[in-house]
């Protein structure tokens, strides 16, 4: 019996030693850091990555912290803007641990703490702006919100890389009103563009009319070009208006008494023989 007891004791000691050796060895990945507590006191510098040797039997305890960038969704928050518009806004926060020791010692759960800080500052920050500024100056609001949250999380060893307002949920009535406003604005711009085009076209036409009036030959060339363009179409009847200037050109080569020039022809004047009195009869009855 004594031999079996000794064997059991030896086996138990060997198992205890093996367990202690195994518990001493830890491997941390490249994106992991280990915060070591020795008899309850934190070591100043984080361990890792790679092979880490700890004292066994609970003397050293290690808590693993990831230094990867974490994207945290901020739950939708009810926000009242400066012009008393109620909306629901959510955001996303990109953060990572840069100092593992403060992230473990100074805050219980740094991810939860960053999320709560983002929610609180999101409501407070957006409440200072009106609706138009919130929709138009999204980048400015993101930068200001990032600066506020980064100052809060700096003491926790957490770096906030960026904060972005992701979605703005407006009431249905406000959406319809904004749609009508945008449609009216587009119609107004279309009218302005059309009026400006008409003004420019009228100026060009006025310049063309001035040039054609100063050069009648150019007017005739333009008329012939128009006739040529109309003749190319599949038309059975072609009505050609003849300008008065063209008639004057044809009338310039006729004599003055020619009826073709549009003047009235004077009747011939009577000669001397036509001025004699008519012959009187001999009085005899025929």
Domain count, the chain: 3
Q: Which H helix or E strand runs over 158?
A: strand 158-169
Is 147 a domain residue? yes
- Helix, strand and coil content of the chain, in percent to the nearest 5, comes to 50, 20, 30
For residues 117 and 196, membership in a common domain is answered with no
Give the residue-averaged pLDDT of 5-24: 81
The enclosing domain of 77 has a CATH number of 3.30.479.30
For residues 155 and 197, membership in a common domain is answered with no
Domain range enclosing 122: 70-170
CA distances from 89 to 75, 126, 136, 284 (A): 8, 9, 15, 135
Is 240 a domain residue? no
Closest CA to 72 of 34, 110, 123: 110
Q: How many C-beta neighbours within 10 Å does residue 126 have?
A: 22
Is 255 a domain residue? no
Mean pLDDT score of the chain: 80
Q: How many C-beta neighbours within 10 Å does residue 113 have?
A: 17
For residues 38 and 88, membership in a common domain is answered with no
For residues 55 and 90, membership in a common domain is answered with no
| pLDDT tens sequence across 175-206 | 787 788 888 888 888 889 989 988 888 888 88
| pLDDT tens sequence across 126-182 | 888 888 888 888 888 899 999 999 999 999 999 999 999 888 888 778 778 778 888
Q: Is 123 exposed, middle or buried (0-12, 13-18, 19+ CB in 10 A)?
A: middle
For residues 157 and 192, membership in a common domain is answered with no
Local confidence band at 5 (pLDDT 50, 70, 90 cut-offs): confident
For residue 81, give the 3-state DSSP assignment. Answer: coil
| pLDDT tens sequence across 221-267 | 777 777 777 667 665 566 666 666 656 655 655 554 455 444 444 55
For residues 42 and 122, membership in a common domain is answered with no
For residues 54 and 78, membership in a common domain is answered with no
| pLDDT tens sequence across 65-95 | 999 999 999 888 888 888 888 888 889 999 9
CA distance 72 to 103: 16
The model's pTM: 0.59
Yes or no: say if 128 and 148 are a contact pair by the CB < 8 Å rule: no
Confidence (pLDDT) at 19: 79
Number of H helices, E strands in the chain: 8, 8
């Amino acid at each position: 019996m004594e031999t079996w007891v000794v064997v059991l004791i030896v086996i138990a000691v060997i198992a205890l030693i093996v367990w202690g050796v195994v518990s001493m060895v830890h491997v941390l990945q490249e994106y992991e850091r280990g915060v070591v507590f020795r008899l309850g006191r934190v070591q100043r510098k984080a361990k890792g990555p790679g092979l880490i040797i700890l004292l066994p039997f609970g003397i050293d305890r290690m808590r693993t912290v990831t230094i990867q960038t974490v994207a945290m969704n901020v739950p939708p928050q009810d926000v009242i803007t400066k012009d008393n518009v109620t909306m629901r806004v959510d955001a996303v926060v990109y953060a990572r641990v840069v100092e593992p020791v403060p992230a473990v010692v100074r805050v219980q759960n740094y991810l939860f703490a960053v999320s709560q800080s983002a929610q609180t500052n999101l409501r407070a920050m957006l409440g200072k702006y009106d609706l138009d500024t919130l929709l138009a100056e999204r980048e400015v609001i993101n930068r200001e919100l990032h600066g506020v949250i980064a100052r809060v999380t700096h003491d926790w060893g957490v770096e906030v890389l960026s904060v972005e307002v992701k979605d703005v949920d407006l009431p249905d009535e406000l959406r319809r009103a904004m749609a009508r406003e945008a449609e009216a604005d587009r119609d107004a711009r279309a009218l302005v563009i059309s009026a400006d085009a008409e003004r420019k076209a009228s100026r060009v036409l006025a310049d063309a009319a001035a040039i054609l009036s100063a050069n009648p030959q150019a007017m005739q060339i333009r008329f012939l070009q128009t006739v040529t363009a109309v003749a190319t179409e599949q038309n059975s009847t072609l009505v050609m208006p003849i300008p008065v200037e063209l008639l004057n050109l044809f009338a310039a080569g006729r004599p003055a008494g020619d009826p073709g020039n549009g003047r009235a022809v004077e009747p011939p004047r009577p000669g001397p023989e036509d001025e004699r009195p008519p012959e009187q009869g001999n009085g005899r009855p025929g």
